[in-house]
Structure 1
Amino acid sequence: MTMSENNPNRPWWRGATIYQIYPRSFMDSNGDGIGDLPGITSRLDYVASLGVDAIWVSPFFLSPMKDFGYDVADFRAVDPIFGALDDFDAMVARAHALGLRVLIDQVMSHTSDQHAWFVESRSSRDNPKADWFVWADAKPDGSPPSNWQSVFGGPAWTWDARRQQYYLHNFLASQPQLNCHNREVQDAMLANLEFWLERGVDGFRLDAVNFAMHDPALTDNPPAPDTGKPRTRPFDFQLRIHNQSHPDIPAYIERIRELTDRYGERPGTIFTVAEVGGDDSEAEMRAFTADDRRFNSTYGFNFLYAERLTADLVCRALTEWPDEPGTNWPSWAFENHDAPRALSRWADDEHREAFAAMKMALLACMRGNPILYNGEELGLTQVDIPFDQLQDPEAIANWPLTLSRDGVRTPLPWTAEGGFTSGTPWLPYGEENLARSVAAQDAANASLLHHTRAMLALRNAHPALHHGSVDWCRAEGALLSFGRSADGESVECHFNLSVAPVALSGLDGDAEILCALNGANPSEIPPYGALIVRP
């Protein structure tokens, strides 16, 4: 029985653990080397065995795959490499039969240049969709309308000879920017969401929402101050205040919420979690989730690109979102399809096993929705992809300074030989990761896979960990401690985020130990140990 079933007034997603599936790399059913929807369906029993509540499936829509599905050519069609709509329906049915909710990505700010909307929009300046994308005349000298830069490098404007105008693209030139100021565009995007709601999805992860609207005056962005960090792209040289984050975006979000509230068991049960990155992400996260009229949660970047996991970093993240009415319910991830594997950033080889176990315990104890990226439960590390095998357009364009996203997108190793496909995988497994296969870890009781199941079971068994408040948080050097409570239960969580033991004092001698990890005890926590107690 899930926590939401224990309390029908609490939406299912509040405290839920979500498992992100990157379809290209999860399971291939037909031997072409690329994962697909039937492959996902065939492995959902494994996902359910982890103790998660939902899956988030990254884009599987019709696409030329210039950005591997985030360049959508048809929001309502499954790309043939992933299967067909019937395969999607079968996946949803199987997930629901196993008690798993289904979330899917929705790309809200742009399309592929092969989308029918853009094909029509670029055909003339007076067609019905002429204003569905962001078009602008050249400056008198022929240069782009503003100085805005693309995330992937170079100007955010590309000249189109058919219209004799520039079009905006915050990402690849093949990803033209939707003009979401246009009410017709909003209506069309809402209709796309409704298409998938009618097919039974339980929520959406909404991509790049803060890029959905721009400053119509096309004001130049000011230069960004030099912080001393390497700047690998022209995008890093600007304060991006005019090409994104327009103040009208929250009103658009309210329209999305009005739609999703018409579905699910009752209003608020269709889960919406927005990706929000950038220099002013905290303010936008609050605005995008305000007053229970907008999104349910936002997907923070606090940990995704952090070079180190520190007690102070975790405390800041937890205390930014207090348990107060109208305040954002957070969602946390330590890694995803865009961010490098956490173990490769945060742990050395000697301590990697202990660190991985502590990291999983920490994620399970944090207030919010933990999001596990496929393979994280196995302790997969970042794979070094040679330049001649790179697929990631950002890595190719900015080689060698940008860390390749391909290294975190490698196929899931189901067996020691791979087991992902009967053909040649689209990316290499990585020899180190083959030793961490599902089969090997299923057979070893002390594995990270079994530990992940145990940590999620612990979270689900204790209201304080599942959906409780954070009552206090302390960062004392490498010692991270916080208290959580809900439904009359209180739990204390202590983590050592260093390679040296730390002393622990002040614990009630009668405290019930719920988890003592890596040799932790009430007086001392060894390197990367954890102690979770109920006073």
Structure 2
Amino acid sequence: MKSAPWWKEATIYQIYPRSFFDSNGDGEGDLPGVTSQLDYVKSLGVDAIWLSPFYTSPNKDGGYDVANPRDVDPRFGNLEDAKELIAQAHKRNLRVIADIVPNHFSDQHEWFQAALKAGRGSKERERFHFYDANEDGTPPNNWISLFGGPSWTQVADGQFYLHLFDSSQPDLNWENPEVNADFEKTLRFWIDLGVDGFRIDVAHGLIKEDVLTNHSDPQGLSNALRLDVAMDSEVRNALLLTVPYFDRQGVHEIYRKWRKLFDSYVGREIMAVAEAWVHPPVNATRYVRADELHQVFNFDLLTAEFDSKVLFDVVERSISLNATVNALPTWALSNHDSPRVASRIGEEQARALALFVFGLPGSAYVFAGQELGLPDGQLQDSDRQDPTFLRTNGQIKGRDGARVPLPWSGNTTPFGFSTGKPWLPISQCWRDLTVESELADPKSSLHLYRNALELRKEFLVGAGGIAWLESSQHGAKNDSLLSYSRGSITVVMNLSDSAKECDASGKLIIVSGGTVDARDGKKVIPARSTAWFLA
């Protein structure tokens, strides 16, 4: 019997290299730093690492402004360091996923510099979205950058170029065959170097339509597309239906070509996961049709309340929709673009939700530091570097809080991350959240993650679908318990602030917090906790 592809139900650990571990004392994490901590990563029980960008970049947007996608930025090391990292990861049976950024380049990329020099109507400018100003001198349309401010910047000869993000990130024109060819070259470069897959940044954004047409509510739409802006879900969804530059049909033709490229590496099982923020949710399934990509991120849990009905709906919808294209969901509670889950819903709730999610079918993505229960870092405005903060004049705080470097050891900041000054400050209040401290505490979040991922591999990977238990069938708003069975495991989450009885049978094998008691033949689940029972 043929085994399932490695990525089908993998646990993938996202590393933001700049914040993981600093090997040379310059205050910034680097690739040798990642390599030096691979034993720690392996000990978590994960199957793969996903590396946020480490390519040549002026770092205006945390490396997502790529100036050369086929080289390593000196702040992170060099290509030999990348090869060594990949080799050492493979030696530990860890797969490596690289982050690629096909929507835009840095304005320092040689192509964009050539476009500035070449002028109107040149083939160099056709690689990007250059347009003349309107007759009154204004930009070609009223679109607003997702980072705040206009999405157009004027160059010396009067033309404007499109940038859906920072002005240092000009959008590429994917109608241009040179762009397609260059990215296929980039994909092959990293596959040949040994990577096992790709996370595709802004996967839904490559094709633009109606570029010269104004949007009826550009600011509202810009806010709706941001994970860190609070907005009523119905309002957000209504705005997402009107996006003129995301989730266009043409992106799927690109990914069909990429899938053929991936599949041409016989025996390698190269995979790709799409960052595709789309609406309605059914549109996400189009990215994982049999001839396209392998996974698409499910962002619902990054914003979901700790509420039984909300979580029931998210899980049920994700499983059901993916099943229509014979795919499995992905689950993520945090990433580098969103508030950390412990800050968003609370520490106990975050532990409970993680254990609940680890039982589900599909792949689980864990953002480095999540296993420690890290909250968002405490930052002064003077510390912040996110272009979102800068472009909105501080109205939106941005994503720096989730990107504060990891605490490793010792009793004083920067807790072993660096011998120098960290690029973002690490609060002294993280003293009890270091890897060293949590390794010594059997009740720590770190031990919970390790134990849960070990049990997940032993009992749940390949165990098939879930069956909601009776109390969860309708996900009623006032229900305090959410529970399902899968294989030999029953998972019960108590979302209330008091202990609750349940009918779960079997032996308790893990609980996210507190103690599970027995009362009149029933199990008593502690407040804000999840328990697994083995039949």
Taking structure 2 as the reference length, the TM-score comes to 0.90
Counterpart of 2:33 in structure 1: which amino acid? G
Contact 1:25 1:34 in 2 (8 A): yes
- 2:297 is matched with 299
Q: Distance in 2 between matches of 1:72 and 1:125?
A: 24
Aligned position for 2:484:
483
Match for residue 105 of structure 1 among 88, 94, 99: 99
Query: Once the 2 structures are TM-superposed, how far is the Cα of residue 419 of structure 1 from its aligned partner?
Result: 0.2
Q: Residue 470 of structure 1: CA displacement?
A: 2.4
1:27 to partner: Cα distance: 0.4
1:109/1:209 contact within 8 Å kept: yes
For residue 343 of structure 2, give the secondary structure of its aligned residue in structure 1: helix
- 1:139-172 deviations in Å (ceiling 9; x for gaps): 111111111110011111111124x311110000
Match of 1:4 in 2: none
Q: 2:429 — aligned with what?
A: 432
Equivalent residue for 2:246, pick from 244, 255, 277:
244
Compute the displacement of 1:525 (Å): 1.4
CA distance in 1, matches of 2:111, 2:220: 40
CA deviations on 1:469-493 (whole Å, 9 max, x unpaired) are 12336234353434344xxx34321
Counterpart of 2:343?
Answer: 344
Residues 149-298 of structure 1 correspond to what in structure 2 (within 5 A)? 149-162=144-157, 164-223=158-217, 240-263=242-265, 265=267, 269-278=269-278, 280=279, 282-290=281-289, 292-298=290-296
Return the letter of the residue paired with 1:243: Y
Aligned to 2:516: 520
Q: Distance in 2 between matches of 1:208 and 1:493?
A: 34
DSSP-derived class of the 1:56 partner:
strand
The alignment partner of 2:329 has SS state of strand
| SS of match in other structure, 1:469 | coil
SS in 1 for 2:98: strand
Deviates further, 513-522 or 525-534: 513-522
1:426/1:264 CA distance change after superposition, 3 Å: farther
Deviations 1:396-432 (A, max 9, x none): 3335442431111111111133101111111111122
Q: Which residue number corresponds to residue 86 of structure 2?
A: 92
The gaps in structure 1 that reach 5 residues or longer are 1-6
CA–CA distance in 1 between the matches of 2:397 and 2:328?
A: 30
The answer to whether the Cα contact below 8 Å between 1:105 and 1:205 also exists between their aligned partners in 2 is: yes
Letter in 2 for 1:36: D
Report the Cα distance in structure 1 between the residues aligned to 2:144 and 2:58, rounded to whole angstroms: 23
Distance between the aligned counterparts of 1:358 and 1:231, measured in 2?
Answer: 25
Q: Check the 8 A contact 1:479/1:494 in 2, yes or no.
A: no
Q: Is the 8 A contact 2:353 2:530 kept in 1?
A: no
How many residues align? The count is 510
Q: Which deviates further from its counterpart, 446-455 or 31-40?
A: 446-455
Name the SS for the 2:452 alignment partner. Answer: helix
**How do 1:73-88 and structure 2 match up within 5 A?**
73-88=67-82
Q: TM-score, normalised by structure 1?
A: 0.90
Q: 2:530 maps to what in 1?
A: 530
Cα RMSD after superposing both structures: 2.5
Q: Retained in 1: the 8 A contact 2:184–2:258?
A: yes
Structure 1 residues 239-271: Cα deviation after superposition (integer angstroms, max 9, x where no partner)? 5521222211111111111111122625xx212
Query: Secondary structure in 2 aligned to 1:445?
Result: coil
> How far apart are the structure 1 equivalents of 2:336 and 2:267?
31
Supply the AA of the counterpart residue of 1:296: H
Whether the 8 Å CA contact 1:37–1:83 is kept in 2: the answer is yes
Partner of 1:471: 467
Kindly state the Cα deviation for residue 49 of structure 1 after the two structures are TM-superposed. Answer: 0.3
The separation in 1 between residues aligned to 2:177 and 2:431, in whole angstroms, is 50
Aligned: 1:460 with 2:457: yes
Counterpart residue number, 2:25: 31
Say if 1:213 and 1:244, in contact at 8 Å, map to a contact too: yes
Using a 3 Å threshold, how does the CA distance of structure 1 residues 516 and 407 change in structure 2: closer, same or farther? closer
TM-superposed CA distance for 1:503, in Å, is: 2.5
Indicate the larger mover: 205-214 or 396-405.
396-405
In the TM superposition, 1:36-47 aligns within 5 A as: 36-47=30-41
Secondary structure at 1:222's aligned position in 2? coil
**How many angstroms apart in 2 are the aligned matches of 1:264 and 1:443?**
44
Q: What CA distance in whole angstroms lies between the structure 2 residues aligned with 1:264 and 1:129?
A: 36
Instruction: Report the AA paired with residue 210 of structure 1.
Output: H
Is the contact made by 2:432 and 2:438 (CA closer than 8 Å) also made in structure 1? no
Give the residue type in structure 2 aligned to 1:491: I
Indicate conservation of the 8 Å contact 1:298/1:328, yes or no. Answer: no
Q: Which amino acid aligns with 1:450?
A: H
Query: For each residue in 1:177-218, what CA deviation from the matched residue of structure 2 results, as whole angstroms up to 9, or x when unmatched?
Result: 000122221121111111100001000110001111100553
Note if contact 1:156-1:168 (Cα within 8 Å) is conserved in structure 2.
Answer: yes
**Contact 1:470–1:482 under 8 Å retained in 2:** no
5+ residue gaps, structure 2: none
Q: Which whole-Å CA distance do the structure 2 matches of 1:371 and 1:205 have between them?
A: 12
Q: Match of 1:122, SS? A: helix
Give the structure 1 partner of residue 441 of structure 2: 444
| SS state at 1:419 partner | coil
- TM-superposed deviation, 1:101: 0.3
Cα distance in structure 2, aligned partners of 1:26 and 1:103: 16
2: distance between equivalents of 1:337 and 1:346?
17
Partner Cα separation in structure 2 for residue 232 and residue 398 of structure 1: 15
Residue 357 of structure 1, CA deviation = 3.3
Contact 1:318 1:470 in 2 (8 A): no
Structure 2 letter corresponding to 1:479: S
Rounded to whole Å, the distance in 1 between the matches of 2:272 and 2:485 is 25
Q: Deviations over 1:323-347 (max 9, x none)?
A: 6362442211111111111111111
Match of 1:141 in 2: 136
**CA offsets, 1:218-252, max 9 Å, x none?**
3222327989999799xx89655212222111111
User: Alpha carbons of 1:499 and 1:176: their partners in 2 closer, same or farther (altered >3 Å)?
Assistant: same
Describe the superposition over 1:488-510 as per-residue Cα deviations: whole angstroms up to 9, x where unpaired. Answer: x34321101221222313x34xx
CA shift digits 1:448-475 (9 cap, x unpaired): 1111110000100013x55521233623
CA-to-partner distance for each residue in 1:86-134, whole Å, 9 max, x for gaps? 0000000000000100001001100001111111223223443331101
